[in-house]
Chains A and B, each alone.
Chain A
Amino acid sequence: MSVPAAPVADAVATAPVTARRRSGRWVSRLGIGGWVALAVVTVVLLVAALGPLVLSTDPDEVNLSYGYVGPIPGHPLGFDGEGRDLLARLIHGARTALIGPAIVVAVSTVLGTAIALAAAWVGGVFDTVVARVTDAMFAFPGLLLALLAVSLFSPGVTVAAVALSISYTPYTARIVRSAALKERSLPYVAALGVQGFTGGRIVLRHILPNILITVVAVATLSFGYALIDLAALSFTGLGVQPPQSDWGVMVAEGVNGIIAGYPQESLFAGGLIVITVGAVNFLGDRIEATSEVPG
């Protein structure tokens, strides 16, 4: 059985094409709305990552004589009540507003997916216990657990993010588990077992990649919720601590301005939260929708 060399080279050349075509099909199912959402999310992430490096204005510089002054040259959005530059605070605030949810999503997705895969693979009593425990934890709103945690320990974004991670884990675990159970019941998984592969290999190399899109969708949706929850905590003064700039903190600090007739600070910060969460959730929905189409 001699193998001619040409077809092998040919095959190597066509392999990336096949991969590109497949991902192309997947991406095209996002739709125009999905692409817009993806663009918005990308812009927000880029601003959060690069904005503070580019911007020379200090977000924490207080200049009381500029309190509630509108846009002037060099300061396109004007100032807050203490005369701090609003644009600089929004851009720096993007970082703090996004890092918290990123931690929550990373921890809850990894933990939740691991628990879900283990439960779906092992099955039996272990699976039942996992299902019941996640159900029970569903009864606890994430925000409540976070409130409890920060009042037990100390106010701050780290404690809040850890508490939210714990309360988001069962949510992730529940959805991923049902996807994993469905995948596990497919004949090819049984066939892999008969080929003598270990459970770990079947789960990590076959089941996980095939349900990855569900995991990504859940992670994206969680990110939006976590952003809202953490902003709400910061608004109540239990999350990010002033004077650090953060969108939630800014909404809270801007409340005084609303009364004084200067609603910009709350409006801009709140608007950014709404736009970011809206875009992230829409994107998550679109990704989830693409996962329902076999392909």
Chain B
Amino acid sequence: MTALLQVDGLRVHLPVEGRLRRVLHEVSIEVAAGEALGIVGESGSGKSMTARAIGRLLPAGARVEGDIRFGGADVLRLSGDALRRYRSGGVAMIFQDPRAHINPVRTVGDFLTEGLRTHQRLSRKAATRIAVGLLADVGIDDGAHRMTQFPHELSGGLLQRVMIAAALAAEPLMLLADEPTTALDVTTQSEVMAILDRLRRERGMAMVFITHDLELAGAVCDRTAVMYAGSIVEQNASARLHSDPLHPYTQGLVQARPDIASTTRLVAIPGQPMSAYEVGNGCPFAARCRYRADVCTTQVPPLRPWHGGWTRCLRAEEIADQLAAQGANRG
């Protein structure tokens, strides 16, 4: 089976103060039709850049290498009508901050129906009917009234639902959700996430879900990829990644997550996160890694298959053995 989205060796350089700086080292991901892939990482790890590269939203002057294929089409070389078709029907993006990403002086109704009327050539009446239905789907019952309101009259949570409705309106094959709940408060977060997860499954859409919340990614995504300093360091089925993290960074993330039943101190990852352009020869995580060996600072670890997924660690076998021994001791 060929994947719907296939990203191969994606490398991105952005111009910063006149110099090209590397923000993505090597990102390779695959998403099958209807499948959800979570990309987890801390700020600056390149997860949003990955989403932007897939949506062809990189700033002018960016240098992009590698390959992005969507349904067989070469995304990086799309232009004109083909690019518009890809963006209007292939992928739909849900942004972190809905308020900044919706025209502030047009009504919610205009925002929701513009795509339906332009791309699907529906009448105003038909588009309005569909939009009201979509708003009901995302849990907004007084849709007809909301459609006459302006974005500043809606709360952040409502507006994010509106954005999800707009993304669904295009009936895309894949959703690109870039931290869709980060700007919302916690109770709204879980509601919006539940709606997004349910509607995506019902419609059989694939999703690339960007978040810094490993647990959330695990809950809504079939597979999870962990990013660090511009590279994907580990990728596996979400459950597996959660129960048996192999890469030292993933282990750190899993251990750093609070548990309501436990009162022990959280284990933090020592050191500072590294920017992608600071990465030299060797493993980007080496400086903070407790399994570090000499080889880690001189050799860039390749992606290696690991229990149905991939990992980017030179000492994967040794770490696995150590973990097994620890597990045996505890058991």
- Partner-B contacts on A (CB < 8 A): 1, 3, 7-8, 10-11, 14-15, 18, 22, 123-124, 186-188, 190-198, 201, 205-206, 209-210
Which of B84, B100, B103, B147 is within 8 Å of A196, CB to CB?
B84
Within 8 A of A (CB), among B142-158: 142-145, 147-150
Please measure, in the bound complex, the distance between the C-alpha atom of A210 and the C-alpha atom of B103, giving whole angstroms: 9
Report yes or no: B102 in contact with A194, Cβ–Cβ below 8 A: no
Enumerate chain B residues within 8 angstroms of A196, measured Cβ to Cβ.
Answer: 83-89, 115, 119, 170
Please measure, in the bound complex, the distance between the C-alpha atom of A14 and the C-alpha atom of B60, giving whole angstroms: 42
Instruction: Considering the complex, give the chain A residue whose CB is closest to the CB of B61.
Output: A124
Report yes or no: B149 in contact with A1, Cβ–Cβ below 8 A: no
Report yes or no: A209 in contact with B87, Cβ–Cβ below 8 A: no
The 5 closest A-B pairs by CB, nearest first: A196-B88, A196-B87, A191-B101, A1-B133, A7-B144
Nearest CB of A to B103, in Å: 5
Enumerate chain A residues within 8 angstroms of B87, measured Cβ to Cβ.
Answer: 193-196
Say which one of B62-70, B91-99, B243-251 lies at the interface with A. B91-99
Instruction: Count A-B contacts at CB 8 Å.
Output: 88
Nearest CB of B to A196, in Å: 3
Please measure, in the bound complex, the distance between the C-alpha atom of A124 and the C-alpha atom of B136, giving whole angstroms: 43
- Partner-A contacts on B (CB < 8 A): 55-57, 60, 83-89, 91-93, 95, 97, 100-107, 114-115, 118-119, 129, 132-133, 136-137, 142-145, 147-150, 166, 170
Please measure, in the bound complex, the distance between the C-alpha atom of A126 and the C-alpha atom of B150, giving whole angstroms: 35
Nearest CB of A to B142, in Å: 6
Residue from the set B86, B92, B114 with the largest chain A CB neighbour count within 10 Å = B114
Report yes or no: B92 in contact with A195, Cβ–Cβ below 8 A: yes
Residue from the set A3, A11, A123 with the largest chain B CB neighbour count within 10 Å = A11
Enumerate chain A residues within 8 angstroms of B86, measured Cβ to Cβ.
Answer: 196
Q: Is the interface of A mostly helix, strand, loop or mixed?
A: helix
Enumerate chain A residues within 8 angstroms of B115, measured Cβ to Cβ.
Answer: 195-197
Enumerate chain A residues within 8 angstroms of B89, measured Cβ to Cβ.
Answer: 196
Report yes or no: A195 in contact with B95, Cβ–Cβ below 8 A: no
Report yes or no: B103 in contact with A206, Cβ–Cβ below 8 A: yes
Which of A8, A18, A187, A192 is within 8 Å of B149, CB to CB?
A18
Nearest CB of A to B135, in Å: 10
Report yes or no: B84 in contact with A198, Cβ–Cβ below 8 A: yes
Which of B83, B92, B95, B144 is within 8 Å of A187, CB to CB?
B95
Report yes or no: B144 in contact with A11, Cβ–Cβ below 8 A: yes
Please measure, in the bound complex, the distance between the C-alpha atom of A22 and the C-alpha atom of B148, giving whole angstroms: 13
Assuming A194-B87, A198-B84, is B118 touching A187 (CB within 8 A)?
no
Enumerate chain B residues within 8 angstroms of A1, measured Cβ to Cβ.
Answer: 132-133, 136-137
Report yes or no: A192 in contact with B60, Cβ–Cβ below 8 A: no
